[in-house]
Structure 1
Amino acid sequence: MRYLLSTVALLLSPPLAAQTTPPASPPAAATIPADPALWVVKDKDTTIYLFGTIHALKPQLSWFDSAVRKAFDASGQLVLEIPLPTQEQAKAVIVPLAMDATGKPLTQKLSAEDRKVYAAAMAKLGIPETAFDTFEPWFAGVTLAQIELQKAGFNAAEGVEVALNAAATASGKPVSGLETLEQQLGYFHTLPQADQIAFLISSAKEIDKFDATINAMLDRWKAGDAEGLSALMNEDLSSQPNLYKVLLADRNARWADWIDNRLKTPGTVFIAVGAGHLAGKDSVQAYLAKHHLVAERVRY
């Protein structure tokens, strides 16, 4: 659940950051070293870089330099999980998928024990218990995580995808997505009610530990410790096998299929997806191996 709450739960951040108003003064120069993991898959005429991201970051991290910048500059195409939509486009997709169509308030869908956990989390955040009653449980869970991210000092406008998208636009690189925003949110929307509630309650239970957890994940990401990051993220995913399959394993398998197919076309591509997708037993690299493809770590 740490992966789901700390990485997938950030998926609404890039759309909301895509149209962020530029600051009145230039941002401070990046001064905090960060060397996140980077991989490459090659054949005789195609090179595909795989970069693990964190969708919202703290300011002044110097991650977009060295080998990462070199790989990006050498690429003719940027591929993200989703193309960053405008706020208007995001709203048009989010609202119909997030709003509950049953008419039954969220708090009334919870068992007595779950409602107690949920109410305690909402109280800690200073939010009325019924604030999300008109929404589906998955959306309430995502929103709780986003609030905690902001409290921990993470900013979507500082996220990797926003920076990469801006750099690609400035250099005239085409930007595309492995999925659409509607597809990503649809994974949550189509989850059985019990799984959505399990996701929400897990989010509520993580409230007290969220700051320490997300900062520990950031430290491992900065150090390029992909396996350590995976171990922290995926520590208890086995408790929600359906969520794990839908939100992680199945998507990684499809992305590996995409990469295998893209290798048939010459060129250089820079792919950036959430770091949790690029480590562990069901990582993108593990599925690439089933295509007899090897993703080599770029050491720098």
Structure 2
Amino acid sequence: MKKNVAFLFVLAAGISTLFAQAPRSSVLWEVSGKGLKAPSYVFGTIHMACKADFTISESLKNRIKNTKQFYGELKMDDLASMQMEMAKKMIMKDRTIESMVGAEDYKKMSEAFQNIVGMPFGLFNNFKPFMSMSMVSLKMITCNDNIQPETEFAKIAGDHKIPVLGLETVEDEMNAIDKTPLDSQVNDLKNILLNFDSSKLEMKKLIDLYKKRNIDHIYAYISSSMNGGSIEKNLIITRNRNWLPVIVKAMQAKPSFFAVGAGHLGGENGVLNLLRKQGYKLTPVTF
């Protein structure tokens, strides 16, 4: 179950200011050195949170406003078009979820999905399992007022005429997801639906860990949940390496603010360590 929820945390991942002194770790990092005329920033976000748990402080807003371009994992300034493009790429032409799990399990999954999401599971029968998992993940956050931090960051940037860009395309992200076989995806979906209370508890653990702002601990938890191997390689490591030249080129051109899932920051192959290896100075920032 940990693996299934970690999968969503990475694809779907500032908490209220708790520290007065400079932290040893943070989810906000300043990038400087190696000829940069002004610092850039890397922020490890969470893809969905309760508003009460996620406060965008004035300090954090100012760091976005003082840069010249904003990068999310995807280009977040036209959500409707992005969602439409993702939906098209998730259609399965030669199979359905029902055909993969059989009539008995499909009935159980349908009942669970209806109870959790409040929509007929049949609407998603022809879509790749990740579509349904995304819908279910929204219900793992048990509060009335949810917030998508990347969307809020992009809005702040847009309001101040700062270009909103993406480190990868929708096609890039879909290709990363597709490297996990459909049979494995549908099994993960079944486990989440039929063990939803456990899934919610695992999500709560991840959010509580995120609140502590230690990116290496976040990465270690997610890595252990995925048991290393191909899922971690495809969803985290390969994408980090693909993003690095985009990040470097952007920073060299102008000061930039990058917001990516917190699971991408820590570890040997995390974005922060990859930047260190390039010769940049990384400094944790209180916000």
| TM interval, short-chain normalised | 0.7 to 0.9
- Tell me the residue number matched to 1:97: 89
Mapped to 2, the partners of 1:282 and 1:188 lie a distance apart of 19
Please list every run of 5 or more consecutive structure 1 residues that lacks an aligned counterpart in the other structure: 12-29
Cα pair distance change 1:198/1:288, threshold 3 Å: farther
Deviation at 1:233, TM superposition (A): 3.0
- Tell me the residue number matched to 2:196: 207
The answer (yes or no) to whether the contact 1:38–1:51 under 8 Å persists in 2 is yes
After superposition, where does 1:20-99 map in structure 2 within 5 Å? 33=17, 37-43=27-33, 44=35, 45-61=37-53, 63-65=55-57, 67-86=59-78, 88-99=80-91
1:147 and 2:110 aligned = no
1:6 and 2:9 aligned = yes
Over aligned residues, Cα RMSD in angstroms? 3.3
- Tell me the residue number matched to 2:22: none
Q: Secondary structure at the match of 1:176?
A: strand
Q: Secondary structure at the match of 1:248?
A: helix
Q: Secondary structure at the match of 2:244?
A: helix
Q: Which of 153, 166, 169 is the aligned partner of 1:180?
A: 169
After superposition, where does 1:183-262 map in structure 2 within 5 Å? 183-189=172-178, 191-204=180-193, 207-238=196-227, 241-262=229-250
TM-score calculated relative to the size of structure 2: 0.79
Mapped to 2, the partners of 1:247 and 1:155 lie a distance apart of 28
TM-score calculated relative to the size of structure 1: 0.76
Cα pair distance change 1:62/1:203, threshold 3 Å: closer
Cα pair distance change 1:213/1:117, threshold 3 Å: same
The answer (yes or no) to whether the contact 1:119–1:129 under 8 Å persists in 2 is yes
Cα pair distance change 1:144/1:292, threshold 3 Å: same
Count of residue pairs brought into register by the alignment = 275
Deviation at 1:60, TM superposition (A): 3.8
Which residue identity does 1:163 align to in structure 2? E
Mapped to 2, the partners of 1:212 and 1:233 lie a distance apart of 15
1:132 and 2:124 aligned = yes
Which residue identity does 2:149 align to in structure 1? V
Mapped to 2, the partners of 1:40 and 1:290 lie a distance apart of 15
Deviation at 1:117, TM superposition (A): 7.6
| Deviation sequence 1:131-185 (CA, Å, 0-9, x none) | 5322222222222223333xx12755x2211221221122121111111233323
The answer (yes or no) to whether the contact 1:82–1:181 under 8 Å persists in 2 is yes
Runs of 4+ in 1 over 6 A off after TM superposition: 111-114
Mapped to 2, the partners of 1:162 and 1:129 lie a distance apart of 27
| Deviation sequence 1:171-221 (CA, Å, 0-9, x none) | 121111111233323432454333433443453365222332323333333
Q: Secondary structure at the match of 2:209?
A: helix
Mapped to 2, the partners of 1:88 and 1:287 lie a distance apart of 33
The answer (yes or no) to whether the contact 2:244–2:275 under 8 Å persists in 1 is yes
Which residue identity does 1:73 align to in structure 2? K
Deviation at 1:277, TM superposition (A): 1.0
Please list every run of 5 or more consecutive structure 2 residues that lacks an aligned counterpart in the other structure: 20-25
Cα pair distance change 1:206/1:277, threshold 3 Å: farther
Deviation at 1:247, TM superposition (A): 1.2
Mapped to 1, the partners of 2:79 and 2:105 lie a distance apart of 33
Which residue identity does 1:219 align to in structure 2? D
Deviation at 1:83, TM superposition (A): 1.6
The answer (yes or no) to whether the contact 1:145–1:203 under 8 Å persists in 2 is no
Mapped to 1, the partners of 2:241 and 2:7 lie a distance apart of 17
Q: Which of 250, 253, 260 is the aligned partner of 1:273?
A: 260
1:164 and 2:167 aligned = no
The answer (yes or no) to whether the contact 1:51–1:273 under 8 Å persists in 2 is yes
